[in-house]
Amino acid sequence: MKILACYSMKGGVGKTASAVNIAYWAAKSGYRTLLLDLDPQGASSFYFRVKSAPKKDWGGRFFKAYGEILKQVKASDFTNLDIIPAHLSFRNFDIFLGQINKRKNRMQQVLKGLKKEYDLIILDCPPTISQLAENIFAAANMVLVPVIPTTLSERTFDQLTSFFKNEDYSRRKLIPFFTMVDGRKQLHQQTAISMRKRYKRFLRSAIPYSSDVEKMGKYRAPIDIFARGKQANKAYLALWTEIERVLKDSS
Amino acid sequence: MMETATQACYRLHNKISSQELRAILPKSYALCVGTGKQKNLILLDNFDWDICQSGLLLIQENKDEFQLLDGNDNLLASCCVQGESRFWWQLPTGNLADKLEELSPIRAFVPKYSCYLKTDHFAITNTDEKIVVRMELYSVIGSNNLNFYFIKTLPLRGYKKEYSQIRKCLAAIKPEELPDLNLRSLLLPSRSEVNHPEKKAIFELTAAEPAEAAISRMAVKMIQLARCQEQGVIDDIDTEFVHQYRVNIRKTRSLISLFKKSFSLERYQLFKTELKSLGSQTNELRDMDVFLLDQDYYCKMLPETLWPGLDHIFRRIKRRRTTAFKRVANYLAGTAYLEQISCLSRTLHQPPELATKQSGMKIRQLAGEKIISQYQLIHADGIAINADTPDQAVHDLRIECKKIRYLLELFTELFPAKEVRQLVKLLKVLQDNLGRFNDFSVQREFLMHLGQGKNLSADQLASINGLTAVLFNKQVNERSLVVDNITVFIDESISAQFKKLFETDPKKGLDE
């Protein structure tokens, strides 16, 4: 079982759209996939039309045992793909983590219990650099970072890389890729070229800026369901194919 | 592991449309119709339903694909077929051919049932348009104009409550719940379709039944069983039809002959003549079949250089077989045969004449006596056979052994079954030995007769002579085992068992 996190400190960079479409293609490629929506806003749960159980504080039991997590699993409309929908109580994850021992590895321990049922766990992460984020860095085999080729996003990615270095996390886990790319913008082109030079692990596939990605909210489904032949869909398939290759190479 | 609801399967009493299905769901749910699948399926099996009885299914899908499935619809083997594919050896070499060789080594597989199977997929969604339950509707449109409808509900993880709600709604159409739904339950919904013929006749004999009536009843039943094979012989489906036909006629002949004193002379003569005539009609065809079935076996006996000659011989025999088959098929389909059968049947159904002393004897006692005297006969003949005794005596012993085998098998119902089975097992060892000895002799005679035919080429003669020599060696080898096998069967302990099981206690009588 591999754990793949879609993570960025910055909001609005396409984390959720990427997590949803990558999870969809992974499941379609035959991987028994679980998408864990860690963002209390619950956008990826919304895209898959799943709702969390109305229990008040299940987030409080999240880190207790994997059995607690299993109770929240819901089948998606697609074969091989299950979802753990977000819950408002997930906003308190840092408080819960603050109350327990072995804080950094807690996520890893809990997710380990799912290895019989799933080949791949995809974490849709909230934009935060906190105890929860550190748990994600420890648990994930691969931290996929969507980067818009702009100055601010570049700066954020640099900060993340430094954090990994300072906190002694393996920087090999960090796999960035470009999102919302507008080929007509000179700034996008220049930033992309310069970042690819500095960071060799950038994936070759990039997600173009597309209204089809925005339409996911309207259709509440992965892009392949409503815009099969479109550029954005092809880009996500290519991105998944590349990720799959990296996963295979690393195992 | 998480607790998940299990799928449920139902048989519906009537066809149901998607509109009707939608109507029974609660208003908060919607029914989405997915893409359906349809295919033409033919269920294949041999006359005895051996494949189905072993828990498997042989399916012909869309005319050219054969699939062997297990009870859970898992594909065990498959292949594409072209042309005639009624026997395992006519299929392309591979897994399916190998498995069917085990399941049906001699018999042809023929269509048992064909249908058009339509599968409709439905998704039940909640107000968020999220799928909460899936459903499959199966429509089996049989070529026999009988249609069946089934529904399977499939739960989705995390939607247990919705699932049980929908199952409750289905109760409105009062479906019959089934433990499982697979291709077997779809194609054979009542299970009564697997109407395999009786392999061994059950006569429901009673110990005190008068012999004449009992033997007549048994003969009627066996002639009926023989007649079940007629159509298969006429259609030339496989060689087992004629074989089983002959076995039943032969057993009837043997039974009538062993109990001839239970009938008036006039009746016995009629039975004897008619049964002899019935049996002899298929002799030639069976001889050809046996030889052709052993084609590979004969090939293996000879060096490759002699194969071309052998090939010619087989082609000659195939031509002769065609002629013999036509004769038998015409005979069985003709009026003369029907008259013969109805004459036999009429006489057997007539009230007992009770013209002889034996005719009124209780069947269990009489059968026991016959078995004992037959065993004594084998004992006496067997003791006289040594390594130098002429072959004819061995052949005669084989015939006597066959008679006791028939007696033991036909009257098993009247005696302790387990002990009788053990004796039959023991007898079979001797019979197999004597049978092979006889077969080699018959095969040699057959070949020698063939060798005297006209227009034989040198290579044909060479292969005939080669085979004759190999068969002679095999026969000599088989002969060397005969004395030992006889000794085992006529051993004192076996004699004692026969006595114990079949001898009438003069004080008590066997029938009590």
Q: Where are the alpha helices (DSSP H) in B354-416?
A: 363-383, 391-410
Residue B196 has pLDDT above 90, yes or no: no
**Parallel, antiparallel or unpaired: strands B75-80 and A120-124:** unpaired
So what's the pLDDT on residue A187?
92
For residue A33, the Cα-to-chain-centroid distance in whole angstroms is: 13
Mean pLDDT of the B161-172 span: 92
Containing domain of residue B491, as a range?
Answer: 367-512
In this structure, what CATH number is given to the domain that contains residue B167?
2.40.320
So what's the pLDDT on residue B192?
62
Confirm or reject contact between A82 and chain B (CB < 8 A): yes
- Interatomic CA distance for residues A60 and A95, integer angstroms: 9
Residues paired with B141 in a beta bridge = B116, B147
Residue B1 has pLDDT above 50, yes or no: no
Measure in Å the smallest separation between the Cα of B129 and chain A Cα atoms. Answer: 7
Question: What mean pLDDT, rounded, does chain A reach?
Answer: 91
- Interatomic CA distance for residues A198 and A167, integer angstroms: 21
B507 and B381 housed in the same domain: yes
- H helix and E strand count, chain A: 12, 7
Residue B82's pLDDT band, with cuts at 50, 70 and 90, is confident
CB contact under 8 A, A117 and B1: yes
Residue B169 has pLDDT above 70, yes or no: yes
Residue B163 forms part of a structural domain: yes
Beta carbons within 8 Å of B187's beta carbon, 6+ residues apart: B41, B43, B57, B113, B115, B140
So what's the pLDDT on residue B198?
77
Residue B487 forms part of a structural domain: yes
In this predicted model, what pLDDT tens digit does every residue of B277-296 receive, in sequence order? 999 999 999 999 998 998 88
Residues paired with B154 in a beta bridge = B134
Which residue among B332, B361, B390 closes a domain? B361
- Quick check: B20 and B11 in contact, CB under 8 A? no
Q: Number of structural domains, chain B? A: 3
Taking phi first (over 0 means left), then psi (-120 to 50 degrees means alpha), and beta for anything else, what does residue B63 get? left
Containing domain of residue A124, as a range?
Answer: 2-250
- Interatomic CA distance for residues B157 and B182, integer angstroms: 22
What are the φ/ψ torsions at residue B193 (nearest 5 degrees)? -65, -30
**Parallel, antiparallel or unpaired: strands B176-178 and B147-155:** unpaired
Find which of B128, B154, B159, B160 to mutate to test the A interface (most A CBs within 10 Å of its CB): B128
CA dihedral in degrees (B337, B340, B341, B344; nearest 10)?
-170
For residue B353, the Cα-to-chain-centroid distance in whole angstroms is: 36
**Which of A61-75, B318-332, B491-505 is most confident?**
B318-332
CB contact under 8 A, B158 and A48: no
Residue B328 has pLDDT above 80, yes or no: yes
So what's the pLDDT on residue B4?
62
CB contact under 8 A, A49 and B123: no
Residue B194 forms part of a structural domain: no
So what's the pLDDT on residue A228?
94
In this structure, what CATH number is given to the domain that contains residue A119?
3.40.50.300
Complex ipTM value? 0.87
Measure in Å the smallest separation between the Cα of B2 and chain A Cα atoms. Answer: 6
Residue B195's pLDDT band, with cuts at 50, 70 and 90, is confident
CB contact under 8 A, A49 and B2: no
Find which of B122, B126, B127, B130 to mutate to test the A interface (most A CBs within 10 Å of its CB): B130
- Interatomic CA distance for residues B347 and B343, integer angstroms: 6
3-state SS of B183-199? HHHHHCCCCCCCCCCCC
Residue B470 forms part of a structural domain: yes
Q: In 10 A of CB B356, how many CB atoms?
A: 18
B290 and B331 housed in the same domain: yes
Mean pLDDT of the A36-57 span: 87
B135 and B38 housed in the same domain: yes
Q: Number of structural domains, chain A? A: 1
- Interatomic CA distance for residues B467 and B433, integer angstroms: 20
CA dihedral in degrees (B227, B231, B237, B239; nearest 10)?
30
Which residue among B157, B187, B217 closes a domain? B187
Q: How far is CA B398 from CA A99, B248, B433, B478, in A?
A: 92, 18, 9, 13
So what's the pLDDT on residue B308?
86
Q: Give the three-state DSSP class for B308.
A: helix
B177 and B243 housed in the same domain: no
Instruction: Tell me whether residue A133 is exposed, middle or buried, using C-beta atoms within 10 angstroms of its C-beta: 0 to 12, 13 to 18, 19 or more.
Output: buried
B398 and B353 housed in the same domain: no
Q: Which two tokens stand for residue A169?
A: 């996390």
Find which of A32, A34, A44, A49 to mutate to test the B interface (most B CBs within 10 Å of its CB): A49
Residue B120 has pLDDT above 60, yes or no: yes
Residue B204 has pLDDT above 60, yes or no: yes
B372 and B355 housed in the same domain: no
